[in-house]
Chain A
């Protein structure tokens, strides 16, 4: 039989290029054209974990993403890492979704796909970094969930013990499948794709679904299904003094220390 494993991934702009992201003054929309896109780094850890569990217990790994047509590239990359099939939720009706509307779209897609034993997400994305979609999705699916997962130990195929990070320590949680785990970078080191695994991508299944394909009510997804919305986006002004010290290293340091004293910082 094996385990049915689902991995939720998101295509995000490369963090090294965040400073190039600009605002369109008219629409207030974020302009990210020309910025390279990658699989959200922690989502690679999520996929790696799914692949390892499949290798141990046998089963199937499905990767799912919601996004514009180019997000298919992220799914293909996941297939090249070893996932068995990809699902892209791609429709204007999904656009403008906050985290609840995103979780809703994934929920309806999962309902159409059938039962999963394990669902993996990256704990947070590098772009918005809310860490919310995983726990929200678990709640909609009515399955147990843990965030911040650093280590997973299988008792048997149906019971797990999970170590999760806390600010000053850690917590151990025992849970029964089906379950959803949001993983951190500590959990594993994601594999690279091989020439052979890349060759296999073309033979793997890639499904593209619109909102009506998954029977998602229009009021539950996209902008309409989002309880929260952006009221404005602003360039962040640091408001710092930006005083550059001049002279030799000794002089710069002496001046800096004097200024810090004037400012009451030391």
Chain B
């Protein structure tokens, strides 16, 4: 860790809009860069995205390497991976943080493999700690469905690349007075980057209502909602609390929520102020999706359900009885 190399956050933008995880990476990147006494920089690829680069500065990037080209408008796997690997080789940052989004999870392994270096997937935290009396960047990852937490290190090869699960770390605070350098790099985009593979279309399908990750309250229903026949009461509860609806994998399989609203290891991770779990037993691959929540309220009929180990407030009871009660009680304040 005696390296003077920079810490890089790979900015991810779609249609000129920054993914929220980029801001989460900047907050962690700032903590690490201060601790290690190195520069926090960001890299951004796209078409006419200087404004997005400025947002990265406002959120803490001291430098932004900006690679603009009309053909980089969409994420293009070969062009993006080759250009990123190239600029990394040139500047030799020591740590690279990438959001574990659909695109980030594909791009990070390509870049890391090109560099023949280490890559850790979907970290939930990163810090400088000691292993065998030597300082290392500790990559904290949930293992075995969240039952265990693993600490991963990358002792030799540089840069070390990590992806970070969206929705876990706090976002960097925006400050328009922050100054940073935007360094334009003319990307060497080649025809052959698109010969074998080309992104031809990106379609945004904004989910109805508020985004899951930014919600203060998430109300999540599981298989147990079967007792009520459908998900309308989950929605009702979410509306009263000013929150959004989510579901477990069984709830998705039932067609009650779409995949974009599935909480868990292979779905979304949320860290709201209040997470309400209704009729879910608490399988580890589910609970890992909300472990960063401030307060967890769980309702389930089975007193032995593991969900109650993961909850601050537990109510054992018949959902058909408890949920209407809960709605009535909360309505009194509304």
A168 and B207 contacting across the interface, CB-CB below 8 Å: yes
**B322 CB to closest chain A CB, in angstroms?**
5
B197 and A135 contacting across the interface, CB-CB below 8 Å: no
Once bound together, how far apart are the Cα atoms of A144 and B82, in whole Å?
12
A169 and B202 contacting across the interface, CB-CB below 8 Å: yes
Cβ contacts under 8 Å, A243 to chain B: 312-314
Flag the segment in A88-96, A108-116, A192-200, A252-260 that touches B. Answer: A252-260
B202 and A171 contacting across the interface, CB-CB below 8 Å: yes
Tell which of A18, A129, A143 touches B121, judged by Cβ atoms closer than 8 Å.
A129
Q: Which A residues between 6 and 28 are near B, CB-CB below 8 angstroms?
A: 13, 15-16, 18-19, 21, 23
**A228 CB to closest chain B CB, in angstroms?**
4
A132 and B315 contacting across the interface, CB-CB below 8 Å: no
Answer whether residue B231 sits at the interface, using C-beta atoms and an 8 A cutoff.
no
B151 and A231 contacting across the interface, CB-CB below 8 Å: yes
Answer whether residue B150 sits at the interface, using C-beta atoms and an 8 A cutoff.
yes
B106 and A135 contacting across the interface, CB-CB below 8 Å: yes
Known: A139-B114, A256-B297. A18 touches B102 (CB 8 A): no
Answer whether residue B291 sits at the interface, using C-beta atoms and an 8 A cutoff.
yes
B122 and A249 contacting across the interface, CB-CB below 8 Å: no
B310 and A245 contacting across the interface, CB-CB below 8 Å: no
Cβ contacts under 8 Å, A242 to chain B: 308-309, 311-312, 314
Once bound together, how far apart are the Cα atoms of A81 and B109, in whole Å?
30
Cβ contacts under 8 Å, B202 to chain A: 166, 169-172
**A25 CB to closest chain B CB, in angstroms?**
13
A176 and B106 contacting across the interface, CB-CB below 8 Å: no
**A126 CB to closest chain B CB, in angstroms?**
7
Cβ contacts under 8 Å, B157 to chain A: 227
B309 and A238 contacting across the interface, CB-CB below 8 Å: yes
Query: SS class of chain B's interface: helix, strand, loop or mixed?
Result: mixed
Once bound together, how far apart are the Cα atoms of A114 and B178, in whole Å?
55
**A56 CB to closest chain B CB, in angstroms?**
22
Known: A19-B147, A170-B205. A231 touches B153 (CB 8 A): yes
Chain B's interface size range is: 35 or more
Once bound together, how far apart are the Cα atoms of A229 and B119, in whole Å?
10
Tell which of B103, B105, B156, B284 touches A19, judged by Cβ atoms closer than 8 Å.
B284
Answer whether residue A98 sits at the interface, using C-beta atoms and an 8 A cutoff.
yes
A233 and B151 contacting across the interface, CB-CB below 8 Å: yes
Q: Which A residues between 185 and 210 are near B, CB-CB below 8 angstroms?
A: 186
Tell which of B105, B150, B200, B274 touches A230, judged by Cβ atoms closer than 8 Å.
B150
Once bound together, how far apart are the Cα atoms of A154 and B207, in whole Å?
29
User: Taking beta carbons and an 8 Å cutoff, which residues of B are in contact with A?
Assistant: 14, 19, 74-75, 77-78, 81, 101-103, 105-106, 108-110, 112-114, 116-122, 131, 136, 138-139, 142-157, 160, 166, 195-207, 217, 241, 259-260, 265-266, 273-274, 283-285, 287, 291, 294-297, 306, 308-318, 321-322, 325-326, 329-330, 333
8 additional A-B residue pairs with CB within 8 Å, beyond A127-B144, A166-B202, A256-B297: A139-B110, A166-B103, A167-B101, A231-B136, A245-B314, A254-B329, A260-B297, A266-B330
A-B contact pairs, 12 of them (CB 8 A): A99-B121, A132-B108, A132-B119, A139-B110, A171-B75, A173-B198, A228-B119, A228-B154, A228-B160, A230-B151, A233-B149, A235-B148
